[in-house]
Amino acid sequence: MRMNYVLIFMVFITLPSFLVGQNNTTWPKSIDNLKSSVCLVEYFQPQFEMGEIEDKSRIKKKITGILVNKQGLVITSDVIYPANLDIVESNMMFISSQPMPEDITVSFIKDQKLKARFIGKDEELRIAFIEIINPDSIPEPVQFKDESEFEVGDPIYLIQHLNGRYDFEKIITAHNINSIITQPKQRLLTTSKVASISAGGLVVNGSGEAIGVIFRSETYYPHYEYAFDDPSMGLSLLQVVPATQFLSLLSNPPELITQKEGSGKSWLGIQMQILTEDMSIYWNIKGKNGIIINKVLPGSPAEKAGLKAGDIISSFGELEINSYDKKNLDILRNYVRNQPAGNITAQILRNKKSRKATIYLESAPKSRFLAEEYSDEFLGLGVKELTQDYITNNDLEFDTEGVWVSRIEDAGKASLAGIDVNDLILKINDEDIRDLEDFSNFTKDLKDSKLDYVQVFLKRQGQTRFVFIKTLLNEKLQ
Protein backbone atom coordinates (compact mmCIF):
# COMPACT_ATOMS: atom_id res chain seq x y z
CA MET A 1 0.00 0.00 0.00
CA ARG A 2 2.84 2.38 0.85
CA MET A 3 4.38 1.68 -2.56
CA ASN A 4 1.10 2.65 -4.27
CA TYR A 5 1.02 5.98 -2.39
CA VAL A 6 4.60 6.67 -3.45
CA LEU A 7 3.77 5.95 -7.09
CA ILE A 8 0.72 8.22 -6.99
CA PHE A 9 2.80 11.00 -5.41
CA MET A 10 5.49 10.64 -8.09
CA VAL A 11 2.88 10.84 -10.86
CA PHE A 12 1.53 14.15 -9.48
CA ILE A 13 5.06 15.52 -9.15
CA THR A 14 6.24 14.55 -12.63
CA LEU A 15 3.03 15.22 -14.59
CA PRO A 16 3.40 19.04 -14.75
CA SER A 17 7.02 18.70 -15.84
CA PHE A 18 6.01 16.19 -18.48
CA LEU A 19 3.34 18.54 -19.82
CA VAL A 20 5.80 21.42 -19.93
CA GLY A 21 8.22 19.24 -21.83
CA GLN A 22 5.50 18.28 -24.28
CA ASN A 23 4.62 21.94 -24.76
CA ASN A 24 8.25 22.77 -25.51
CA THR A 25 8.54 20.05 -28.16
CA THR A 26 5.44 21.30 -29.99
CA TRP A 27 6.70 24.85 -30.44
CA PRO A 28 6.77 25.93 -34.11
CA LYS A 29 10.07 25.17 -35.84
CA SER A 30 10.19 28.69 -37.30
CA ILE A 31 10.67 30.11 -33.77
CA ASP A 32 14.46 29.70 -34.01
CA ASN A 33 14.63 31.69 -37.26
CA LEU A 34 12.42 34.41 -35.88
CA LYS A 35 14.49 34.49 -32.70
CA SER A 36 17.62 35.24 -34.72
CA SER A 37 15.96 38.41 -36.10
CA VAL A 38 15.18 39.74 -32.64
CA CYS A 39 18.00 42.06 -31.56
CA LEU A 40 19.26 43.91 -28.52
CA VAL A 41 19.14 47.69 -29.02
CA GLU A 42 21.51 49.72 -26.84
CA TYR A 43 21.62 53.50 -26.61
CA PHE A 44 22.59 56.35 -24.36
CA GLN A 45 19.94 58.67 -23.02
CA PRO A 46 21.16 62.12 -21.92
CA GLN A 47 19.84 62.95 -18.49
CA PHE A 48 18.87 66.16 -16.81
CA GLU A 49 17.43 66.46 -13.37
CA MET A 50 14.90 68.95 -12.17
CA GLY A 51 16.97 71.84 -10.90
CA GLU A 52 19.50 71.66 -13.74
CA ILE A 53 19.59 73.51 -17.04
CA GLU A 54 22.19 71.30 -18.72
CA ASP A 55 22.28 67.58 -19.52
CA LYS A 56 25.23 66.50 -17.38
CA SER A 57 25.17 62.72 -17.66
CA ARG A 58 24.15 59.82 -19.86
CA ILE A 59 22.55 56.50 -18.99
CA LYS A 60 23.02 53.39 -21.09
CA LYS A 61 19.74 51.59 -21.79
CA LYS A 62 18.81 48.35 -23.53
CA ILE A 63 15.55 47.42 -25.24
CA THR A 64 14.30 44.77 -27.65
CA GLY A 65 14.19 45.34 -31.42
CA ILE A 66 13.01 43.38 -34.47
CA LEU A 67 14.69 43.42 -37.89
CA VAL A 68 11.99 43.96 -40.54
CA ASN A 69 13.81 44.41 -43.86
CA LYS A 70 17.13 43.70 -45.58
CA GLN A 71 18.05 47.40 -45.56
CA GLY A 72 18.48 47.24 -41.80
CA LEU A 73 15.17 48.70 -40.61
CA VAL A 74 14.43 47.77 -37.00
CA ILE A 75 11.20 48.39 -35.09
CA THR A 76 11.32 48.78 -31.34
CA SER A 77 9.43 50.37 -28.48
CA ASP A 78 9.18 54.16 -28.43
CA VAL A 79 10.64 54.01 -24.95
CA ILE A 80 13.82 54.88 -26.87
CA TYR A 81 12.31 58.37 -27.39
CA PRO A 82 9.05 58.70 -25.44
CA ALA A 83 8.56 62.45 -25.93
CA ASN A 84 5.13 63.32 -27.33
CA LEU A 85 5.69 64.81 -30.78
CA ASP A 86 2.10 65.94 -31.26
CA ILE A 87 0.13 68.59 -29.44
CA VAL A 88 -0.83 67.21 -26.04
CA GLU A 89 -3.98 68.22 -24.19
CA SER A 90 -2.65 67.66 -20.69
CA ASN A 91 -1.51 70.46 -18.41
CA MET A 92 1.33 68.28 -17.15
CA MET A 93 4.43 70.33 -17.84
CA PHE A 94 6.86 68.40 -15.64
CA ILE A 95 8.73 67.02 -18.65
CA SER A 96 9.80 70.06 -20.65
CA SER A 97 12.43 68.30 -22.73
CA GLN A 98 13.29 64.79 -23.73
CA PRO A 99 16.75 64.31 -25.26
CA MET A 100 17.24 62.27 -28.41
CA PRO A 101 18.89 58.86 -27.96
CA GLU A 102 22.62 58.83 -28.69
CA ASP A 103 25.15 56.21 -29.88
CA ILE A 104 22.56 53.60 -30.85
CA THR A 105 23.79 50.06 -31.56
CA VAL A 106 22.04 46.83 -32.57
CA SER A 107 23.24 43.33 -31.65
CA PHE A 108 21.92 40.08 -33.11
CA ILE A 109 24.87 38.18 -31.64
CA LYS A 110 26.21 39.13 -28.24
CA ASP A 111 29.01 41.74 -28.34
CA GLN A 112 28.72 42.18 -32.13
CA LYS A 113 27.34 45.70 -32.29
CA LEU A 114 26.16 47.46 -35.43
CA LYS A 115 25.75 51.24 -35.39
CA ALA A 116 22.26 52.57 -35.99
CA ARG A 117 20.38 55.85 -36.18
CA PHE A 118 16.96 56.94 -34.96
CA ILE A 119 14.39 57.53 -37.74
CA GLY A 120 11.06 58.30 -36.11
CA LYS A 121 8.08 56.95 -34.18
CA ASP A 122 4.34 56.44 -34.29
CA GLU A 123 2.56 58.09 -31.36
CA GLU A 124 -0.50 55.85 -31.25
CA LEU A 125 1.22 52.50 -31.65
CA ARG A 126 4.19 53.54 -29.50
CA ILE A 127 6.52 51.97 -32.03
CA ALA A 128 9.86 53.55 -32.95
CA PHE A 129 12.02 52.93 -35.99
CA ILE A 130 15.80 52.82 -36.16
CA GLU A 131 18.06 51.94 -39.09
CA ILE A 132 21.32 50.00 -39.11
CA ILE A 133 23.89 52.21 -40.86
CA ASN A 134 25.89 49.41 -42.52
CA PRO A 135 23.52 46.41 -42.72
CA ASP A 136 26.11 43.79 -43.70
CA SER A 137 25.83 40.19 -42.53
CA ILE A 138 22.47 40.63 -40.86
CA PRO A 139 19.99 37.77 -40.43
CA GLU A 140 16.84 37.31 -42.47
CA PRO A 141 14.24 39.92 -41.51
CA VAL A 142 10.92 39.02 -39.95
CA GLN A 143 7.99 38.73 -42.33
CA PHE A 144 4.79 39.68 -40.54
CA LYS A 145 1.52 37.98 -41.40
CA ASP A 146 -1.37 40.24 -42.31
CA GLU A 147 -3.84 38.64 -39.92
CA SER A 148 -6.78 40.40 -38.29
CA GLU A 149 -8.93 37.47 -37.12
CA PHE A 150 -8.03 36.27 -33.63
CA GLU A 151 -9.89 34.27 -31.03
CA VAL A 152 -9.63 34.16 -27.26
CA GLY A 153 -7.61 31.08 -26.34
CA ASP A 154 -5.36 31.14 -29.42
CA PRO A 155 -1.76 30.19 -28.53
CA ILE A 156 0.91 32.84 -28.95
CA TYR A 157 4.63 32.99 -28.20
CA LEU A 158 6.62 36.01 -27.06
CA ILE A 159 10.29 36.53 -27.93
CA GLN A 160 11.90 39.08 -25.63
CA HIS A 161 15.10 39.85 -23.75
CA LEU A 162 15.56 39.19 -20.07
CA ASN A 163 16.98 41.91 -17.85
CA GLY A 164 20.58 42.40 -16.70
CA ARG A 165 20.26 39.77 -14.01
CA TYR A 166 20.20 37.20 -16.82
CA ASP A 167 22.72 39.00 -19.03
CA PHE A 168 19.99 40.17 -21.45
CA GLU A 169 19.52 36.72 -22.95
CA LYS A 170 16.60 36.10 -25.27
CA ILE A 171 13.64 34.19 -23.88
CA ILE A 172 10.67 32.51 -25.56
CA THR A 173 7.49 32.06 -23.54
CA ALA A 174 4.20 30.36 -24.40
CA HIS A 175 0.91 32.16 -23.75
CA ASN A 176 -2.69 32.37 -24.88
CA ILE A 177 -4.83 35.29 -25.96
CA ASN A 178 -6.88 36.02 -22.85
CA SER A 179 -8.96 38.90 -24.21
CA ILE A 180 -9.38 41.03 -27.32
CA ILE A 181 -9.96 44.78 -27.22
CA THR A 182 -11.50 46.25 -30.37
CA GLN A 183 -11.80 49.98 -29.61
CA PRO A 184 -10.29 52.43 -30.24
CA LYS A 185 -7.62 50.14 -31.71
CA GLN A 186 -7.49 46.37 -31.69
CA ARG A 187 -5.27 44.93 -28.93
CA LEU A 188 -4.69 41.34 -27.90
CA LEU A 189 -4.26 40.78 -24.17
CA THR A 190 -2.23 38.08 -22.45
CA THR A 191 -0.52 37.63 -19.09
CA SER A 192 3.11 37.20 -18.13
CA LYS A 193 5.46 36.97 -15.16
CA VAL A 194 8.64 37.52 -17.16
CA ALA A 195 10.84 40.43 -16.05
CA SER A 196 11.87 41.57 -19.53
CA ILE A 197 13.85 44.70 -20.28
CA SER A 198 11.22 46.56 -22.30
CA ALA A 199 8.13 46.42 -24.42
CA GLY A 200 8.67 45.77 -28.12
CA GLY A 201 9.19 42.01 -28.21
CA LEU A 202 8.03 39.84 -31.11
CA VAL A 203 4.68 38.00 -30.97
CA VAL A 204 4.26 34.72 -32.88
CA ASN A 205 1.10 32.68 -33.46
CA GLY A 206 0.66 28.94 -33.00
CA SER A 207 1.70 28.32 -36.61
CA GLY A 208 5.02 30.06 -36.11
CA GLU A 209 4.13 33.27 -37.97
CA ALA A 210 5.00 36.74 -36.71
CA ILE A 211 1.72 38.54 -35.98
CA GLY A 212 2.57 41.54 -33.80
CA VAL A 213 4.67 43.31 -31.19
CA ILE A 214 4.31 44.00 -27.48
CA PHE A 215 2.77 47.36 -26.68
CA ARG A 216 4.21 49.89 -24.23
CA SER A 217 1.79 50.90 -21.50
CA GLU A 218 0.44 54.42 -21.27
CA THR A 219 2.36 55.25 -18.08
CA TYR A 220 6.04 55.99 -18.53
CA TYR A 221 8.42 58.33 -16.74
CA PRO A 222 11.63 58.94 -18.71
CA HIS A 223 13.62 59.99 -15.64
CA TYR A 224 13.39 56.48 -14.23
CA GLU A 225 14.52 53.10 -15.49
CA TYR A 226 11.78 51.47 -17.51
CA ALA A 227 10.27 48.55 -15.57
CA PHE A 228 8.18 46.56 -18.01
CA ASP A 229 7.19 43.97 -15.44
CA ASP A 230 7.35 43.48 -11.70
CA PRO A 231 7.09 39.81 -10.69
CA SER A 232 6.46 40.83 -7.08
CA MET A 233 3.06 42.11 -8.23
CA GLY A 234 2.11 38.70 -9.70
CA LEU A 235 0.77 38.41 -13.25
CA SER A 236 1.13 41.43 -15.50
CA LEU A 237 -1.30 42.11 -18.31
CA LEU A 238 0.46 42.59 -21.65
CA GLN A 239 -1.02 44.19 -24.75
CA VAL A 240 -0.13 43.06 -28.25
CA VAL A 241 -0.31 45.33 -31.30
CA PRO A 242 -1.37 43.22 -34.31
CA ALA A 243 0.84 43.60 -37.38
CA THR A 244 -2.09 44.85 -39.48
CA GLN A 245 -1.76 48.18 -37.65
CA PHE A 246 1.86 48.81 -38.61
CA LEU A 247 2.50 46.87 -41.84
CA SER A 248 2.10 50.01 -43.95
CA LEU A 249 4.77 51.74 -41.85
CA LEU A 250 7.42 49.14 -42.71
CA SER A 251 7.68 50.43 -46.27
CA ASN A 252 7.30 54.07 -45.26
CA PRO A 253 8.39 54.52 -41.63
CA PRO A 254 7.58 57.85 -39.95
CA GLU A 255 10.50 60.25 -39.82
CA LEU A 256 11.27 62.64 -37.02
CA ILE A 257 10.02 66.04 -38.07
CA THR A 258 12.26 69.06 -38.16
CA GLN A 259 11.73 71.81 -35.64
CA LYS A 260 9.93 74.10 -38.09
CA GLU A 261 7.52 71.57 -39.52
CA GLY A 262 4.22 70.25 -38.26
CA SER A 263 3.81 66.90 -36.57
CA GLY A 264 2.92 65.02 -39.74
CA LYS A 265 -0.42 63.91 -38.26
CA SER A 266 -3.69 65.65 -39.00
CA TRP A 267 -5.48 67.61 -36.30
CA LEU A 268 -8.89 69.17 -35.84
CA GLY A 269 -8.09 71.67 -33.11
CA ILE A 270 -10.91 71.18 -30.62
CA GLN A 271 -11.42 70.18 -27.03
CA MET A 272 -14.34 67.83 -26.62
CA GLN A 273 -16.50 65.74 -24.34
CA ILE A 274 -18.99 62.95 -24.91
CA LEU A 275 -22.69 63.76 -25.23
CA THR A 276 -24.35 61.89 -22.38
CA GLU A 277 -27.92 60.63 -22.28
CA ASP A 278 -28.77 63.15 -19.55
CA MET A 279 -27.46 66.00 -21.71
CA SER A 280 -29.48 64.85 -24.71
CA ILE A 281 -32.62 64.81 -22.56
CA TYR A 282 -31.88 68.27 -21.13
CA TRP A 283 -31.34 69.72 -24.60
CA ASN A 284 -34.43 67.94 -25.89
CA ILE A 285 -32.46 65.96 -28.46
CA LYS A 286 -33.17 62.54 -26.99
CA GLY A 287 -31.99 59.71 -29.19
CA LYS A 288 -29.10 61.71 -30.61
CA ASN A 289 -25.47 60.64 -30.18
CA GLY A 290 -22.32 62.60 -30.64
CA ILE A 291 -19.32 64.44 -29.30
CA ILE A 292 -19.66 67.97 -27.93
CA ILE A 293 -17.12 70.61 -28.90
CA ASN A 294 -16.36 72.64 -25.78
CA LYS A 295 -13.50 74.68 -27.19
CA VAL A 296 -12.23 75.57 -30.67
CA LEU A 297 -8.55 76.45 -30.88
CA PRO A 298 -7.62 79.64 -32.73
CA GLY A 299 -6.12 79.09 -36.16
CA SER A 300 -7.15 75.42 -36.18
CA PRO A 301 -8.89 73.56 -39.02
CA ALA A 302 -12.05 73.53 -36.87
CA GLU A 303 -12.06 77.31 -36.51
CA LYS A 304 -11.40 77.83 -40.21
CA ALA A 305 -14.37 75.57 -40.98
CA GLY A 306 -16.65 77.62 -38.74
CA LEU A 307 -17.14 75.06 -35.96
CA LYS A 308 -18.17 76.51 -32.60
CA ALA A 309 -18.24 75.52 -28.95
CA GLY A 310 -21.54 73.73 -28.35
CA ASP A 311 -21.62 72.03 -31.74
CA ILE A 312 -22.24 68.28 -31.54
CA ILE A 313 -20.36 66.07 -34.02
CA SER A 314 -22.52 63.10 -35.02
CA SER A 315 -20.32 61.85 -37.86
CA PHE A 316 -16.88 62.65 -39.23
CA GLY A 317 -16.04 61.35 -42.68
CA GLU A 318 -16.99 57.67 -42.58
CA LEU A 319 -16.95 57.56 -38.77
CA GLU A 320 -20.37 57.45 -37.12
CA ILE A 321 -20.74 58.46 -33.46
CA ASN A 322 -23.56 56.17 -32.38
CA SER A 323 -23.25 55.67 -28.62
CA TYR A 324 -22.65 57.48 -25.33
CA ASP A 325 -19.34 55.64 -24.81
CA LYS A 326 -16.38 57.79 -23.74
CA LYS A 327 -14.15 55.66 -25.99
CA ASN A 328 -15.61 57.64 -28.88
CA LEU A 329 -13.34 60.53 -27.90
CA ASP A 330 -10.22 58.43 -28.55
CA ILE A 331 -11.80 56.87 -31.62
CA LEU A 332 -12.46 60.29 -33.18
CA ARG A 333 -9.01 61.57 -32.18
CA ASN A 334 -7.30 58.54 -33.76
CA TYR A 335 -9.50 58.75 -36.85
CA VAL A 336 -8.58 62.39 -37.44
CA ARG A 337 -4.86 61.79 -36.85
CA ASN A 338 -4.77 59.13 -39.54
CA GLN A 339 -6.57 61.11 -42.23
CA PRO A 340 -4.50 62.61 -45.05
CA ALA A 341 -4.40 66.38 -45.46
CA GLY A 342 -7.44 67.62 -47.36
CA ASN A 343 -11.18 68.17 -47.13
CA ILE A 344 -13.41 65.95 -45.03
CA THR A 345 -17.13 66.29 -44.31
CA ALA A 346 -18.59 66.26 -40.80
CA GLN A 347 -22.23 66.14 -39.74
CA ILE A 348 -22.89 68.43 -36.81
CA LEU A 349 -25.88 69.40 -34.70
CA ARG A 350 -26.19 73.10 -33.86
CA ASN A 351 -29.22 74.55 -32.10
CA LYS A 352 -31.06 71.23 -32.70
CA LYS A 353 -30.55 71.53 -36.46
CA SER A 354 -28.35 69.17 -38.44
CA ARG A 355 -25.85 70.64 -40.91
CA LYS A 356 -22.78 69.62 -42.85
CA ALA A 357 -19.38 71.18 -42.38
CA THR A 358 -16.43 70.79 -44.75
CA ILE A 359 -13.15 70.83 -42.86
CA TYR A 360 -9.70 71.04 -44.39
CA LEU A 361 -7.43 68.87 -42.27
CA GLU A 362 -3.77 69.81 -42.01
CA SER A 363 -0.68 68.77 -40.09
CA ALA A 364 -0.81 69.50 -36.36
CA PRO A 365 1.71 72.02 -35.04
CA LYS A 366 4.72 70.66 -33.20
CA SER A 367 4.47 70.04 -29.48
CA ARG A 368 6.46 71.71 -26.71
CA PHE A 369 8.80 68.70 -26.68
CA LEU A 370 10.15 69.70 -30.09
CA ALA A 371 10.18 73.42 -29.36
CA GLU A 372 13.54 75.13 -29.64
CA GLU A 373 15.18 75.78 -26.28
CA TYR A 374 17.76 78.29 -25.06
CA SER A 375 19.64 78.02 -21.76
CA ASP A 376 21.23 80.91 -19.90
CA GLU A 377 23.78 79.74 -17.33
CA PHE A 378 24.22 83.21 -15.84
CA LEU A 379 20.55 83.52 -14.85
CA GLY A 380 20.19 79.79 -14.27
CA LEU A 381 17.20 79.05 -16.46
CA GLY A 382 16.17 77.58 -19.77
CA VAL A 383 13.37 78.95 -21.94
CA LYS A 384 11.43 77.67 -24.94
CA GLU A 385 9.50 79.19 -27.78
CA LEU A 386 5.71 79.25 -27.54
CA THR A 387 3.84 76.36 -29.12
CA GLN A 388 0.13 75.84 -29.67
CA ASP A 389 -0.18 73.35 -26.82
CA TYR A 390 1.50 75.73 -24.35
CA ILE A 391 -0.83 78.55 -25.42
CA THR A 392 -3.89 76.28 -25.18
CA ASN A 393 -2.99 74.69 -21.84
CA ASN A 394 -2.43 78.11 -20.29
CA ASP A 395 -5.55 79.76 -21.78
CA LEU A 396 -3.55 82.41 -23.63
CA GLU A 397 -4.55 84.44 -26.65
CA PHE A 398 -3.55 82.88 -29.96
CA ASP A 399 -1.21 85.79 -30.82
CA THR A 400 0.60 85.77 -27.44
CA GLU A 401 4.33 86.50 -27.65
CA GLY A 402 7.09 85.66 -25.21
CA VAL A 403 9.08 82.66 -24.02
CA TRP A 404 8.23 80.15 -21.32
CA VAL A 405 10.53 78.83 -18.62
CA SER A 406 11.34 75.18 -19.30
CA ARG A 407 14.10 74.57 -16.75
CA ILE A 408 15.27 76.18 -13.53
CA GLU A 409 18.61 75.61 -11.84
CA ASP A 410 18.35 74.91 -8.12
CA ALA A 411 19.73 77.86 -6.11
CA GLY A 412 20.37 79.74 -9.36
CA LYS A 413 19.68 83.45 -9.66
CA ALA A 414 16.28 82.97 -11.33
CA SER A 415 15.25 80.34 -8.78
CA LEU A 416 16.23 82.53 -5.83
CA ALA A 417 14.17 85.35 -7.33
CA GLY A 418 11.07 83.12 -7.38
CA ILE A 419 10.79 82.31 -11.08
CA ASP A 420 9.18 78.91 -11.73
CA VAL A 421 8.98 76.40 -14.57
CA ASN A 422 6.07 77.23 -16.90
CA ASP A 423 6.23 81.00 -16.22
CA LEU A 424 5.72 83.09 -19.35
CA ILE A 425 8.36 85.83 -19.68
CA LEU A 426 6.96 88.93 -21.40
CA LYS A 427 9.54 91.66 -20.69
CA ILE A 428 13.06 92.02 -19.32
CA ASN A 429 14.06 95.49 -18.05
CA ASP A 430 10.97 96.91 -19.79
CA GLU A 431 12.07 95.47 -23.15
CA ASP A 432 9.55 93.25 -24.95
CA ILE A 433 10.60 89.61 -25.24
CA ARG A 434 8.74 88.32 -28.26
CA ASP A 435 10.68 85.13 -28.94
CA LEU A 436 13.88 83.20 -28.25
CA GLU A 437 15.96 85.56 -30.36
CA ASP A 438 14.90 88.55 -28.26
CA PHE A 439 15.66 86.63 -25.07
CA SER A 440 19.10 85.45 -26.17
CA ASN A 441 20.06 88.87 -27.56
CA PHE A 442 19.13 90.58 -24.33
CA THR A 443 20.63 88.12 -21.87
CA LYS A 444 23.96 87.43 -23.59
CA ASP A 445 25.36 90.81 -22.45
CA LEU A 446 24.03 90.74 -18.90
CA LYS A 447 27.38 89.79 -17.40
CA ASP A 448 28.96 92.90 -18.88
CA SER A 449 26.11 95.20 -17.91
CA LYS A 450 27.11 95.35 -14.22
CA LEU A 451 23.46 95.66 -13.23
CA ASP A 452 22.60 94.80 -9.63
CA TYR A 453 19.13 93.56 -10.62
CA VAL A 454 17.33 92.32 -13.72
CA GLN A 455 13.64 93.16 -13.84
CA VAL A 456 11.43 90.44 -15.31
CA PHE A 457 7.76 90.91 -16.15
CA LEU A 458 6.00 87.56 -16.42
CA LYS A 459 2.65 85.82 -16.37
CA ARG A 460 1.84 82.89 -14.10
CA GLN A 461 -1.52 81.11 -14.02
CA GLY A 462 -3.21 84.06 -15.69
CA GLN A 463 -1.72 86.69 -13.35
CA THR A 464 1.09 89.09 -14.28
CA ARG A 465 3.83 90.11 -11.85
CA PHE A 466 7.25 91.72 -11.64
CA VAL A 467 10.21 89.68 -10.42
CA PHE A 468 13.66 91.09 -9.66
CA ILE A 469 16.68 88.85 -10.19
CA LYS A 470 19.71 89.80 -8.10
CA THR A 471 22.84 89.41 -10.27
CA LEU A 472 25.47 89.49 -7.47
CA LEU A 473 27.83 91.12 -9.97
CA ASN A 474 28.84 93.97 -7.69
CA GLU A 475 29.06 91.99 -4.47
CA LYS A 476 32.54 91.52 -3.05
CA LEU A 477 33.71 88.34 -1.43
CA GLN A 478 34.01 88.65 2.34
CATH of the domain at 240: 2.40.10.10
309 and 357 share one domain: yes
| Residue 165 confidence (pLDDT) | 86
Q: Is the pLDDT of residue 6 over 50?
A: no
Residue 105 is part of which domain span?
Answer: 31-132
- Write 114-119 long-range contacts (CB < 8 A, 24+): 114/72, 114/138, 116/41, 116/72, 116/74, 118/80, 118/81, 118/256, 119/73, 119/253, 119/254, 119/255, 119/256
> 192 pairs with which residues across the strands?
236
* Domain co-membership, 291 together with 206: no
Last residue of a domain, one of 325, 345, 363: 363
Tens digit of each residue's pLDDT (9 = 90 or more) over 297-326: 888 899 999 999 999 999 999 999 988 888
The reply to whether 52 and 123 lie within a common domain is yes
Q: Which amino acid is at 399?
A: D
Flag whether 4 is in a domain: no
Of the candidates 100, 238, 111, the one whose C-alpha atom is nearest the C-alpha of residue 178 is 238
Stretch 29-34: mean pLDDT: 89
pLDDT at 28 over 70: yes
pLDDT at 156: 95
pLDDT at 202 over 90: yes
Distance from the Cα of residue 277 to its chain's centroid: 33
For β-strands 202-205 and 155-161, DSSP reports them as antiparallel
Parallel/antiparallel/unpaired status of strands 291-296 and 312-316: antiparallel
Nearest to 169 by CA among 158, 157, 160: 160
Task: Identify the CA nearest to 134 among candidates 111, 106, 103.
Answer: 106
- We report the CATH number of the domain holding residue 460 as 2.30.42.10
Q: What is the DSSP string of 357-418?
A: EEEEEEEPPPPGGGS-EEEETTTTEEEEE--HHHHHHTT--TT---EEEEEE-TTSHHHHHT
Q: Are residues 169 and 214 in the same domain?
A: yes
Q: Indicate whether 43 belongs to any domain.
A: yes
Q: What is the pLDDT of residues 153-181, one digit of tens each?
A: 999 999 999 988 889 999 999 999 999 98
Q: Are residues 177 and 195 in the same domain?
A: yes
Do both 375 and 464 map to the same domain?
yes
Of residues 445 and 140, which shows the higher confidence score?
140
Query: What is the overall mean pLDDT for the chain?
Result: 82
* Final residue of a structural domain among 329, 363, 397: 363
pLDDT at 260: 55
* pLDDT tens track for 65-85: 999 999 999 999 988 988 776
Q: What is the pLDDT of residues 214-245, one digit of tens each?
A: 987 654 434 333 334 444 445 678 899 999 99
Q: Is the pLDDT of residue 23 over 50?
A: no
CA torsion angle 267 272 277 279 (round to 10)? -140
Residue 124 lies in a domain: yes
Same-domain check for residues 398 and 446: yes
CA distances from 315 to 280, 305, 331 (A): 16, 15, 12
Asked whether the predicted pLDDT for residue 94 surpasses 80, the reply is: no
Phi, psi of 304 (to 5 degrees): -65, -25
Q: Which of 392, 335, 346 is nearest to 368 (CA)?
A: 392
Spatial CB neighbours of 143, under 8 Å, sequence gap ≥ 6: 210
State whether 406 and 351 are in the same domain.
Answer: no
In a domain, 17, yes or no: no
Residues 6+ positions from 7 with CB-CB distance below 8 Å:
none
Do 101 and 179 have their domain in common? no
Q: How confident is the model at residue 87 (pLDDT cuts 50, 70, 90)?
A: low
**Residue 412 within any structural domain of the chain:** yes
Question: What is the average pLDDT across 178-204?
Answer: 86
pLDDT band at 418 (very low <50, low <70, confident <90, very high): very high
Q: How confident is the model at residue 390 (pLDDT cuts 50, 70, 90)?
A: confident
In a domain, 84, yes or no: yes
Radius of gyration of the chain from its Cα atoms, rounded to whole angstroms: 27
The pLDDT score that the predictor gives to residue 343 is 95
Find out whether the peptide bond into 184 is cis, omega within 30 degrees of 0: yes
In this predicted structure, what is the pLDDT of residue 14?
40
User: Is 50's pLDDT higher than 70?
Assistant: no
What is the average per-residue pLDDT within 275-291? 89
Q: How many CA atoms lie within 13 A of 125 on its CB side?
A: 27
Same domain, 241 and 201: yes
Last residue in a domain, options 217, 251, 285:
251
Does residue 476 form part of some domain?
A: no
Mean pLDDT of 81-102: 62
pTM of the model: 0.70
Looking at mean pLDDT, say which of 67-76, 185-194, 400-409 comes out highest: 67-76
247 located within any domain: yes
Amino acid 220: pLDDT: 43
Q: Are residues 70 and 124 in the same domain?
A: yes
Through-space distance between the first and last CA atoms of the chain, rounded to whole angstroms: 95
pLDDT on residue 98: 67
How many domains, in total, are found in the chain? 4
- Same domain for 127 and 35, yes or no, is yes
